[in-house]
Amino acid sequence: MILQSLLLTVTLASSALGCAQHTNNKLPRLQGRQDGVPLQPVPEANTTKNDWAYEASFNWGRIKPEYRLCQIGTQQAPIALSLGNGLALDHIPKFAYNGSVAGNWYNWGYGPAFTVARTNQSYGEEEAEEEEADVDWTTHPSFTYDNTTVYLKGWHIHAPADHSVGGDKSKAEMHLVHVDASGHEAAVLAIRLDPGNSDAPFFAQLPPMIGFDELDVEERASVAFESLLESVLYFGEFWTYHGSLTSPPCTEGIRWFVARQIVFIGVEQMQAILGASTYSARAEQEVWLHRINE
């Protein structure tokens, strides 16, 4: 009875989307923050309520049949990592992330998020107005491993971190979500974030944070990734495993790359991220058929 009450409480308390959808609104629909201008609801913005909550991630599988994999899956993410696992010697990523990337800056209901502006295959227009099937994902920043190329859809931040390393969890974790040429989620680059003594150039270029309670706000932004990738040695040292999405429906078949290096950012930068975030870490899953570093 206590367990059912807890589940009901946290489920009703959740009022944002799950793992960031990284969908793009058309540019005329973006609602920026303008002094003296009241915010208006943005069509297709992140306003749908979840029927699940991170605080009760141990029980997602019983909510509805579509979430059953969260309970019975054999490669669920995140998992605990350590140097005892060794580091990956294969599947080395090679990046094509040159220059600034235009996209939408918003809050996915749990923290900061950014979605890459899309190109329509037929017309070459940014912010494709057709279905996702018509998006030319191959124009996005990409990386290649094992003769497989995946394309950046967007990134978002979890707080605290999803993955622990050696039993320690960072303050936050950044997920760079990549899709295959058809737009299906295929790989995630995970970068842990902790407070340090100086500002990180990557986060210094971002607009002011949009709060978790400002789901009707989106802004246009351009982001350069070189400094971020340099901070983690372009994933020169990493763990990799076969995993899943970290929110329902917990789809498996995702290749995870977790950087060994932590990105240390300024105290005020860390406070801004945490102030714009709500709890969004799924409970770590038992290692089963994850094939760590294989």
Segment 189-235, tens digit of pLDDT: 999 999 999 999 999 999 999 999 999 999 999 999 999 999 999 99
Tell me if 23 is assigned to some domain: no
Its pTM surpasses 0.95: no
Tell me if 123 is assigned to some domain: no
At 34 the pLDDT is 47
Tell me if 281 is assigned to some domain: no
Domains identified in the chain, total number: 1
At 23 the pLDDT is 75
Contact 276, 269 (CB under 8 A): no
Tell me if 33 is assigned to some domain: no
Tell me: pLDDT of 294 over 60: yes
Residues with Cβ within 8 Å of residue 55, at least 6 apart in sequence: 6, 10, 279
Contact 52, 64 (CB under 8 A): no
DSSP type of residue 288: S
Written as one letter, the residue type at 72 is I
Tell me if 61 is assigned to some domain: no
> Cis bond leading into 160, ω under 30°?
yes
From 102, 113, 103, 104, select the one nearest 16 (Cα to Cα).
Answer: 113
pLDDT in tens, 5-44: 444 433 333 434 457 878 765 333 345 554 433 333 333 3
At 18 the pLDDT is 57
pLDDT in tens, 113-143: 999 998 765 444 444 444 566 899 999 999 9
- pLDDT band (50, 70, 90) for residue 264: very high
CATH code assigned at 155: 3.10.200.10
Contact 57, 245 (CB under 8 A): no
From 145, 149, 148, 156, select the one nearest 116 (Cα to Cα).
Answer: 156
Other CB atoms within a 10 A radius of the CB of residue 222 amount to 13
| Domain enclosing residue 188, as ranges | 73-117+136-276
